[in-house]
Amino acid sequence: MGDWSFLGRLLENAQEHSTVIGKVWLTVLFIFRILVLGAAAEEVWGDEQSDFTCNTQQPGCENVCYDEAFPISHIRFWVLQIIFVSTPTLIYLGHVLHIVRMEEKRREREEELRKAGRHQEDHDPLYHNGARGGGGKKEKPPIRDEHGKIRIRGALLRTYIFNIIFKTLFEVGFILGQYFLYGFHLRPLYKCGRWPCPNTVDCFISRPTEKTIFIIFMLVVACVSLLLNLLEIYHLGWKKVKQGVTNEFAPVYTQETYTSILFFPHMHHTHACPPAKDIPARKTSKARPRSAGGGGLF
């Protein structure tokens, strides 16, 4: 069916920038889909059309009956499924590489500015004092954590969330598509009445039991992948989902905060200054007028 090594290398790079559940999902994709499809399933479906026989000698009848029984080969259907569910992950990988490249360019610019500032400081002693007084741009938080891994947040978090959502939709779509195209069980006998068959003929499928086992196996793997996608959404948490989709800097309140606001609202009210009635008036003493003669009180 082809060489999967190129796709495998790309997905392996994406695995480094995924969550724990995302890494498990990629492992399931590698082992239970790509390897099984390339090693065993292709051998089972290798004689699919050649051993599809019908009890008629009418030219073209077997071809149209095979086309009716299998609108698309199971192997090609699963290959399309792997490509579609892998595409969102590849898009996410492209976003990660773009962010890494932009970070490298930013560091190069900062290094050039640092060298230029050091050169200016050597030639102009006043530059050092003037540079300290000016307010610089607010530095962006680092894209990597203390372990050197990419932080999944902001725009990258939104891309990762949409990656999971589209993988989930593709999984559901292909599961439903397989059900409506073939079902999940192959019968050894298929009755066909399409033209140019003279009447309803009986057609026989080769190795239906073995193929049914593979169909159920691939269905179980698809359901496991779907479950992993749902668990990953739960793992990220609805709080992070809202933060990534709406606004990166939106305030996030915990359950304790809501409880505190509900039962102790006065603790969350602040005033710029106390009310005027609470400010004590300052006592002032008026100067007594002196007599013209400058005498005393008496």
Q: What is the full per-residue pLDDT of the chain (298 aa) written as tens digits? A: 556 667 777 777 776 777 788 888 888 888 888 888 877 777 777 767 778 888 888 888 888 888 888 888 888 899 899 999 989 988 888 888 887 777 777 777 777 777 776 656 565 555 455 444 444 444 555 556 555 566 666 778 888 889 999 999 999 999 999 999 888 888 888 888 888 888 888 888 888 888 888 889 999 999 999 999 999 888 887 656 565 556 554 454 454 554 455 455 555 554 444 555 444 555 544 445 454 444 443 3
Tokens 């005033």 belong to residue: 271
Task: Say whether 189 sits in a helix, a strand or coil.
Answer: strand
Amino acid (1-letter code) at residue 229: N
Query: Tokens representing 263?
Result: 């039962």
Specify the pairing of strand 189-192 against strand 53-54. unpaired
Tell if the pTM clears 0.85, that is, is over it.
Answer: no
Tell me the backbone φ, ψ of residue 20, rounded to 5 degrees: -65, -45
Tokens 């992070």 belong to residue: 240
Closest Cα partner for 84 from 174, 154, 2?
174
